[in-house]
Every structure is written in C-alpha cells, then in structure tokens.
C-alpha cells in the first residue's frame, strides 16, 4: 500500500480499563463480571464491563437496566474517576520516557509516534510496544493492547485486533489483507449510521468498500467519502498531535431516520449530555458555554449557545439549558438529521468533581445565540 508519510505509530489501549482497575484494587472482584457505570435501578448507562461480563452481551453505553437483565450476577460499581485519572497520568509518564509525541485520545488510549527512535522499522517498533506493555504491567498491574503500524488509523485497527493484552503489527505489505477483512464499522470515521447505510448497499467488509469509486463515495458521504476512500486503502497522513489544547468537549449523533419527534430528540440529547458530562468529569473541567447543534434533513447546520455564570458539569444543569434551545429550533418545524452538544469556555473544575456541581437557574446569565448555516 502506498503511503506518503511513512511513520512508526503505536496505539495503546488499556483492557476494560475502569473494570480492570476495580478488579485490581479489590481481589474479590477478580474473575467476576464487573460493570462500572450508573445505577442498575436507574437510567444510567454502562461505562465499561469486565471481560467476564462482556460474555453475557454487556457493553459500553448500554442501559444499566438491560445489563442487569443480561447478567444478574454482575457486580455494579460507580466510577472512581480520580483513581482512573491518576493511573492514566502514571501510564502517560511511561510513554513520555520514550517520546514527547504522545497524543491521548481518552484516559486509557493514546497514540505515540516513535519514528525518531525506529525510523520505518516496524519490527523494532513492536519491540518498543512490548517493552511499554511490560512497564505498564509492572507499574500498574494492568494490561494494555498495542497496535503497531505506519499510520494512526492502522495502528488503532491493530490494537483492537487481539484484545485483551494483544500486540499486533500491520506492515505496509499486510495492510491490504487486514483492510479487506475488516468490518466496515471498524474503519475510522464509520459510525452506526454510516455502517447501516453500507449494509443497505450490501457492503460489509473493507474489500467491498474498496470496490466503490471515489465519485460514488463522495456522492454518498460528501467530503467524508474522500476520507473513507483513503482509509480503506490504508492511507492516513494525520500526524500524532501531542497535548492539543482542548477548547471544547462535545458529542453528536445522527438519527437513523430524520425525525420531528421531540421526545425522541430529548432522549438522545440526554444521552449525549451524559457522555459529555462524563468526559468533563474525567478531565476535571467544566465549561461556561453550552451549544446545541442541529443539522436539518437538508444538511443545513444551526447552532444555539447559552452561557452561564457557574461552569456546567452535570447532566441536569446542561439539560436545563438545552431544553429551551431545542424548543426554539424546533419551532422551525423541520426534520432533524443530527443533534450535537458541546461545552466550551472550559476551566478547571472547582472542588472534587463536576457531578456535585450545584446549579441554580438564577445564577445563569442571559443566553447568547448564534446561528450558522453551512
């Protein structure tokens, strides 16, 4: 496969991160199904499940109630973000001893560019991955899965290939065969909706996706079609970007079918907001501005923002802002294709965590609105 910028990239991803930490810290939980997330009697979702629980079909983002039905013997635990954050920092210190080019994607997931150490020699890169995995186990008693390849996308595909505790190398010679057999949902940039669209077209694996011409992909997915065309050919020139300064935390989702159903939209908004709140808590930050993004059925984009005096961290406060913003936009009476929530104007969280942040509406400033059409 052709690649303009040949690099040596590692992707490391801790195995069942939150659940493994809980099992590490409480030996009684080892070998048992453990689910970290919300209240199984309430409306929370699964953050992660130990591999023992995954065997029952439990997975991230599933409602906890459903997880309880699938796996009644599971131990349900609330996340301990402070602990996960401390471990994440401990592990990042290991990475930084190898290279300053460390790009964290999540608390347990990272890209490293080690080209300056090994050049294009992926076998040497794999040795480094092995050494790093070993150091992580020694220092934290946790396992990571590593992917080694010549770009970010393939390194990430590789790390997911043999989980848990895996180490997979994808060389330029192997890339084509790997991508042929890859389910389209695993290709970078393919979410559930795109995956469903491909299934309708009878496209399940990379080898089928590669049959589509650039023009056809652009017709189907616009600019993203170009990226998909490149990715499925193993081409990805995105550099590893260390310590980007974070300007916002956001989540968005596309509806399988464009909708005008307000209740459905509110449920989706609440789910997105939960994910944003969790990410803010992980990063120990909160933000003073919340933005609702709506893409209409005709792909026009509209955003509405509200700024508040006390930084937003918890779901209730965010939903309090979002409901009226949604109400204003829905007055347009147009089918909605996508909803997104972003918190910006970020600052360190005061106190011990956003979940305890108390918001009272009277503290909030006036709404500022902005409409942008694409």
Query: Do residues 53 and 20 lie in contact, with contact meaning Cβ atoms separated by under 8 Å?
Result: no
Residue 234: DSSP 8-state? T
Q: Which stretch binds ligand TTP (CB under 6 A): 8-16, 176-184, 215-223, 246-254?
A: 8-16
Q: Which residue is nearest to Mg ion (CB)?
A: 13
For ligand TTP, the closer CB: 315 or 325? 315
Query: Do residues 146 and 127 lie in contact, with contact meaning Cβ atoms separated by under 8 Å?
Result: no
Task: Please give the size of the binding site for ligand TTP, defined by CB under 6 A.
Answer: 16
164 binds, among ligand TTP, Mg ion, none (CB under 5 to 8 A by kind): ligand TTP
Query: Do residues 359 and 316 lie in contact, with contact meaning Cβ atoms separated by under 8 Å?
Result: yes
Task: Return the percent helix, strand and coil in the chain, to nearest 5.
Answer: 40, 25, 35
14 touching Mg ion, by CB under 5 A? yes
Instruction: Could you list the beta-strand ranges (E) of the chain.
Output: 9-14, 34-37, 46-49, 75-77, 102-106, 109-113, 144-149, 167-169, 248-259, 285-296, 301-312, 336-348
Among 3, 15, 22, 113, binds ligand TTP (CB under 6 A): 15
314 touching ligand TTP, by CB under 6 A? no
Among 9, 10, 35, 47, binds ligand TTP (CB under 6 A): 47
> For strand 9-14 and strand 144-149, is the pairing parallel, antiparallel, or unpaired?
antiparallel
Q: Which of residues 96-155 bind ligand TTP (CB under 6 A)?
A: 106, 108-109
Residue 194, SS3? Answer: helix
Among 22, 108, 235, 236, binds Mg ion (CB under 5 A): 108
Residue 56: DSSP 8-state? T
128 touching Mg ion, by CB under 5 A? no
Query: Do residues 254 and 337 lie in contact, with contact meaning Cβ atoms separated by under 8 Å?
Result: yes
Contacts of 215 (CB under 8 A, 6+ apart): none
363 touching ligand TTP, by CB under 6 A? no
13 touching Mg ion, by CB under 5 A? yes
CA atoms within 13 A on the CB side of 147: 25
Minimum distance of ligand TTP from residue 251's CB (angstroms): 10
- 331 cis-preceded (ω within 30 degrees of 0): no
252 touching ligand TTP, by CB under 6 A? no
Residue 205 in tokens: 């694996």
> Which one of the listed residues 109, 195, 208, 270 is annotated catalytic?
109
Minimum distance of ligand TTP from residue 228's CB (angstroms): 22
What gap in Å lies between CA 234 and CA 64, rounded to an integer? 37
Which residues pair with residue 250 across a beta bridge? 342
109 is known as an active-site residue: yes
Minimum distance of ligand TTP from residue 108's CB (angstroms): 4
164 touching ligand TTP, by CB under 6 A? yes
Label residue 213 exposed, middle or buried (CB < 10 Å: 0-12, 13-18, 19+).
exposed
61 touching ligand TTP, by CB under 6 A? yes
Task: Please give the size of the binding site for Mg ion, defined by CB under 5 A.
Answer: 4
Q: Which stretch binds ligand TTP (CB under 6 A): 12-20, 166-174, 228-236, 254-262?
A: 12-20
278 binds, among Mg ion, ligand TTP, none (CB under 5 to 8 A by kind): ligand TTP
Task: List the Cα angle 297/301/303 in 5-degree steps.
Answer: 130
Residue 67, SS3? Answer: helix
22 touching Mg ion, by CB under 5 A? no
- Contact mark string toward ligand TTP, 263..302, x via CB under 6 A: ---------------x------------------------
22 touching ligand TTP, by CB under 6 A? no
Which residues pair with residue 148 across a beta bridge? 10, 169
Which residues in this chain contact ligand TTP in the complex, by CB under 6 A? 13-18, 47-48, 60-61, 106, 108-109, 163-164, 278
Which residues in this chain contact Mg ion in the complex, by CB under 5 A? 13-14, 17, 108
Catalytic positions are 109
């Amino acid at each position: 496969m052709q690649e303009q910028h040949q690099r040596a990239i590692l992707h490391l991803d801790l195995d069942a991160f939150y659940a493994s930490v809980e099992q590490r810290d409480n030996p009684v939980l080892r070998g048992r199904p453990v689910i970290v997330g919300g209240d199984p009697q309430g409306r929370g979702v699964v953050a992660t499940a130990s591999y023992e629980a995954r065997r029952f079909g439990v997975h991230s983002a599933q409602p906890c109630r459903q997880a309880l039905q699938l796996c009644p013997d599971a131990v349900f635990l609330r996340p301990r973000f402070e602990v996960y954050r401390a471990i994440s920092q401990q592990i990042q210190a290991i990475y930084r001893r190898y290279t300053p080019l460390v790009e964290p994607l999540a608390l347990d997931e990272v890209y490293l560019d080690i080209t300056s150490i090994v050049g294009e020699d992926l076998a040497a890169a794999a040795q480094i991955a092995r050494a790093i995995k070993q150091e992580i186990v020694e220092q934290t008693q946790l396992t990571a899965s590593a992917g080694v390849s010549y770009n970010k996308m393939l390194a990430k595909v590789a790390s997911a290939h043999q989980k848990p505790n895996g180490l997979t190398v994808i060389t330029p010679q192997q890339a084509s065969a790997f991508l042929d057999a890859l389910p389209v949902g695993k290709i970078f940039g393919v979410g559930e909706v795109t995956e469903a669209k491909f299934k309708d077209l009878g496209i399940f694996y990379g080898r089928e996706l590669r049959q589509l011409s650039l023009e056809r992909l652009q017709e189907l997915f616009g600019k993203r079609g170009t990226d998909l065309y490149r990715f499925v050919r193993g081409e990805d020139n995105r550099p590893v970007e260390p310590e980007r300064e974070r300007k916002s935390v956001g989540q968005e989702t596309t509806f399988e079918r464009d909708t005008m159903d307000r209740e459905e939209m509110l449920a989706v908004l609440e789910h997105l907001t939960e994910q944003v709140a969790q990410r803010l808590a992980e990063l120990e930050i909160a933000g003073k501005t919340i933005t609702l993004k709506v893409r209409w059925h005709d792909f026009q984009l509209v955003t509405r923002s509200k700024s508040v005096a006390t930084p937003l961290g918890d779901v209730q406060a965010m939903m309090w802002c979002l409901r009226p913003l949604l109400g204003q936009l829905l007055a347009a009476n147009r089918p909605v294709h996508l909803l997104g929530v972003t918190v910006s104007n970020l600052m360190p969280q005061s106190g011990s965590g956003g979940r305890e942040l108390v918001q009272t509406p009277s503290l909030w400033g006036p709404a500022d609105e902005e409409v942008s059409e694409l």
